[in-house]
Each structure stands twice: as C-alpha cells, then as structure tokens.
Amino acid sequence: MDTDLLIKDLKSIFSDNVIEVAVKNRKRATLTVKPSAVPEIAEHLYKKAGFRFIIASALHTKKGFEIYYHFSNDATGLVLNVHVILDSEKPEIESLSNMFNASNWIEREMHELFGINFLNHPNQEKLISEGNWADGVYPYRKEFKK
C-alpha cells in the first residue's frame, strides 16, 4: 500500500487517538498517538497492514518518557514510528509482548534502563544486569533543571 494511503487509513481508523502525523518521505513517517491506543494500533499494523515490529526506542526528555515503536513494512520499505509520551512521574504503558514475542526483550530492557512499567508483560525480569544492579536506579534516566 502506498504510504500516503496507509497514513490516511490509520488516521481515519484511529482518528481520536492520533495526535500528530509527520511524514518525512515515502519511507519514513512518525505517528504520535495516545499511549492507551498503542495496543490497538500495533495489532492493526501487525495483523492487518503487514508490518513487522523492528524495535522500540525509549528517551527521557523534558516532556517525560517517550517511546518510539518502530515498525517496518518490508513490501514498501516504510519505517513507521509510533510515538508516545508517557508521564514522567509514573511511566507505564500496556505491553505488546502478549501479541508478538519480538517486543519481549526490549520491553524488559526499557523497564530496566528507564524504569518504564509495562503492564501485563509476561515476564518483566531484568534482561541485562541479572540482579547485579540496584533496584530503583535507572542508568539511562536524565536529570533536568527545574
């Protein structure tokens, strides 16, 4: 499917949940959405639109915790970033790992490095440090001047 058509499609299906759309070119687009809509959108992309989950990237910024879920449509070469901004005090979002295994490790990693809580994750144990790191200390968090 053509990129413009696909974005139009997504906008119409998830109209209330889409906050911002940024299409850079035919192969790169970012969709900023409400955190509660991520499972639905991921399900649509994975099961209906033929997307593959690549990985997710977390960032700690002044806005709070941001996650970019990167999806790839290999037929068109499109990388679609589904972007959410989570609360900086209590960052949590529904896990995608019950839908596909691909997000299992990266969600554990984000939990460990950023302290983002993934609700209903099948096994949110530490992935990298295996108990060699203090609880409640998140190495990739930043400190911002208030």
Partner 1 sequence: MSRKTLIPIGPYHPLQEEPELFKLYCDGEIVRDIKWETGYNHRGIEKLSESKTYDQVFFLVERICGICSTSHPFAFANAVEEIAGIEITDRAKYIRSIIGELERIHSHLLWVGLAGHFLGYNTVFMWAWKYREPVLDLFEMITGNRNSYAMFKVGGVRRDIENSKIESIRKVMSDVKKKTDLLAGAVMDDPVIHARTKGVGILTKQDVMDFAAVGPTARASGVAIDVRKDDPYAAYPLVNWKVITATEGDVFAKAQVRLLEMYESISIIEQCLEGLKKEKEGEINVKVKEIPAGMATGRAEAPRGEVFHFVVSDGSNSPARHKIRAPSYVNIATFRKSCIGQTIADATITLAAVDPCYCCTERLATAYDFDSGEKIMNARELINMSVEKTAEIRKTIR
Output 10 or 78, the one with its CB closest to partner 1: 78
Task: Please identify which residue in the block is written with the tokens 């109209």.
Answer: 15
Residue 5: which residues within 8 A CB-CB, separation 6 or more? none
Q: Which of 1, 8, 119, 140 forms a contact with partner 1 (CB under 8 A)?
A: 140
Q: Residue 95, interface with partner 1 (CB under 8 A)?
A: no
- Pick from 145, 142, 143: nearest CA to 58: 142
Specify the DSSP class assigned to residue 27.
T
Q: Which stretch binds partner 1 (CB under 8 A): 3-11, 31-39, 56-64, 84-92?
A: 56-64
Q: Which of 31, 37, 53, 114 forms a contact with partner 1 (CB under 8 A)?
A: 53
- Pick from 111, 107, 17: nearest CA to 69: 107
- Strand-pairing partners, residue 57, are 68
Site for partner 1 in 102-121 (CB under 8 A): 102, 104-106
Interface with partner 1 (CB under 8 A) = 27-28, 46, 52-55, 57-59, 68, 70, 72, 74-77, 79, 81, 100-102, 104-106, 127-130, 139-140
